[in-house]
């Protein structure tokens, strides 16, 4: 993909998101002064706050244990958030959305790692649900068009997570031409970043760092991947598509 073109479109997409606020966007609000509208908060963001998990830490007893959920959110995600804010202050960056920050050229390492960590986990919590109801017919037909079948799509997603060496993420992204693709990034990188092998707009992200599954699954990352795909909020995923 032409990176310059993608960047332009991403910024436009970000503006679009202010019309339809999501958990992701609400997490981007500044904790200073005025927050009358989500739009103001998104544009004026200088400091990011940890988003709440509305379904709680005990939502997925068969899939992700409560202790993993709590540590992951209150320690790891909080840590990325705090370090991102410190790094932004250090770099004197303000007034940008998290998407605008992550698509910048030559991101300082601390912002790349912690900004990625902040954004990636916000997306992760947002697209999980204890009451997963399967895909709408419209999403299913889009997925069948791009991947052949729902099963092939889920297999490819699980494989992307399983094959990631070390720590990282498996993603479903949308291209500028609206086509969906699956990819993976190392560490806390994501497909918004210029360093990504393949850029795109993330609509679903699965954390495959050991901290996401090790207490319950130990070395069995494949089992975690099979199970987590069963608790995806497909309507939320679809709502992130343009
Ligand atoms: Mn994580």
Question: Whose CA is closest to 119, among 69, 214, 191?
Answer: 191
CATH class, domain 11-28+45-126, is mainly alpha
pTM of the predicted protein model? 0.83
Burial class of residue 175 (count of CB atoms within 10 Å of its CB; 0-12, 13-18, 19+): middle
Q: How far is the CA of 198 from the centre of ligand 1 (A)?
A: 21
Q: So where are the chain's domains?
A: 11-28+45-126, 137-239
- Within the chain, strands assigned E span 168-174, 180-186, 201-207
**Average of per-residue pLDDT values in the chain:** 86
Q: What is the pLDDT of residue 105?
A: 95
* 14 C-alpha to ligand 1 centroid (Å): 24
Walk along the chain (242 residues) and give the pLDDT tens digit of each residue.
444 444 433 333 333 333 333 444 334 433 443 333 444 444 444 699 999 999 999 999 999 999 999 999 999 999 999 999 999 999 999 999 999 999 999 999 999 999 999 999 999 999 999 988 999 999 999 999 999 999 999 999 999 999 999 999 999 999 999 999 999 999 999 999 999 999 999 999 999 999 999 999 999 999 999 999 999 999 999 999 99
Find how far residue 146's CA is from the centre of its chain: 21
CA of 85 to the centre of ligand 1 (A): 18
CATH assignment of 137-239? 3.55.40.20
Convert the pLDDT of each residue in 34-49 to its tens digit.
333 444 444 444 699 9
pLDDT recorded at residue 14: 35
CA of 41 to the centre of ligand 1 (A): 25
State in Å: Cα 77 to ligand 1 middle. Answer: 7
Residue 228: both structure tokens together = 């987590």
Ligand 1 center to 168 CA (angstroms): 9
- Cα 72 to ligand 1 centre (Å): 6
Cα of 137 vs centre of ligand 1, distance in Å, is 31
Positive or negative, the CA dihedral 23, 239, 176, 187 is positive
């Amino acid at each position: 993909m032409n990176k310059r073109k993608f960047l332009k479109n991403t910024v436009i997409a970000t503006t679009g998101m202010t019309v339809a606020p999501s958990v992701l966007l609400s997490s981007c609000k500044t904790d200073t002064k005025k927050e009358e509208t989500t739009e103001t908060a998104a544009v004026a963001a200088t400091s990011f706050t940890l988003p709440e998990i509305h379904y709680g830490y005990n939502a997925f007893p068969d899939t992700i244990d409560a202790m993993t959920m709590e540590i992951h959110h209150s320690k790891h995600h909080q840590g990325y958030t705090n370090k991102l804010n410190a790094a932004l202050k250090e770099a004197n960056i303000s007034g940008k959305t998290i998407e605008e920050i992550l698509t910048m050229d030559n991101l300082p390492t601390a912002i790349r790692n912690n900004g990625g960590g902040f954004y990636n986990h916000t997306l992760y919590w947002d697209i999980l649900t204890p009451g997963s109801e399967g895909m709408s017919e419209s999403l299913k037909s889009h997925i069948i068009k791009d991947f052949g079948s729902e099963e092939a799509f889920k297999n490819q997603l699980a494989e992307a997570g399983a094959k990631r060496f070390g720590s990282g993420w498996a993603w479903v992204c949308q291209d500028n031409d609206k086509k969906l693709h699956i990819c993976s990034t190392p560490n806390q990188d994501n497909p918004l970043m210029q360093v990504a092998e393949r850029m795109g707009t993330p609509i679903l992200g699965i954390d495959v760092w050991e901290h996401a599954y090790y207490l319950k699954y130990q070395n069995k990352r494949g089992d975690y991947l099979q199970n987590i795909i069963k608790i995806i909020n497909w309507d939320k995923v679809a709502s992130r598509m343009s």
